[in-house]
Amino acid sequence: RMDQALLLVRNELPAPGLNLAARSGSCHQCLYQFLAFVPPSNESLRVPGTASVMVDTQHPLTLLLNSSVGDRDLCKIQYHFGEFGNYSLVVKTLSTSTQTVSCDLIINEGPINSYLPILFAFLVYMGILAILIAGRLLMKIDPVRNWVYKKLNPRATDRMINSELGSPNTTDSINCDPAPQPWSAGSRQRLRSLDTFRGISLVIMVFVNYGGGKYWFFKHESWNGKLHFPCALFSRFVFIMGTSIALALGSMLRWGSSKWKVLRKILWRSFVLILLGIIVVNPNYCLGPLSWDNLRIPGVLQRLGFTYLVVAALELLFTRADSGTWEGRFSALQDILPYWPQWIFILMLETIWLCLTFLLPVPDCPRGYLGPGGIGDFGKYPNCTGGAAGYIDRLLLGEKHMYQHPSSGVIYQSTMPYDPEGILGTINSIVLAFLGLQAGKITLFYKDQPKQIMSRFIIWGIVMGIISAILTKCSKEEGFIPINKNLWSISYVTTMSCFAFILLLLIYYLVDVKKWWSGAPFLYPGMNSILVYIGHQVFANYFPFKWKMQDSQSHAEHLTQNLTATTLWVVISYILYRRRIFWKI
**Residues designated catalytic:** 220
Pairwise CA distance, residues 568 & 474, whole Å? 40
Which whole-number Å values give the CA distances from 429 to 260, 485, 487, in the listed order? 25, 11, 10
What backbone torsions phi and psi does residue 332 show, to the nearest 5 degrees? Answer: -65, -15
In a 10 Å sphere around its CB, with 0-12 CB exposed, 13-18 middle and 19+ buried, how is residue 336 labelled? middle
Pairwise CA distance, residues 331 & 526, whole Å? 34
| Bond into 16 cis (ω within 30) | yes
Pairwise CA distance, residues 345 & 315, whole Å? 11
Quick check: helix, strand or coil at residue 82? coil
Pairwise CA distance, residues 171 & 178, whole Å? 8
Pairing type for strands 86-95 and 100-109 reads antiparallel
Cβ atoms 546, 569 nearer than 8 A = no
Residue 456: other Cβ atoms inside 10 A = 22
DSSP for 103-165, please give it.
Answer: EEEEEEEPPP-TTHHHHHHHHHHHHHHHHHHHHHHHTTSHHHHHHHHHHS-HHHHHHHHHS--
Residue 78: beta bridge partners?
A: 62
Quick check: helix, strand or coil at residue 36? strand
Residue 312: other Cβ atoms inside 10 A = 26
What ranges in 360-446 are assigned the alpha helix state H? 388-396, 408-411, 423-445
Which whole-number Å values give the CA distances from 100 to 8, 13, 562, 569, 584, in the listed order? 21, 11, 51, 61, 71
Cβ atoms 167, 179 nearer than 8 A = yes
- Host H or E run for residue 378: none
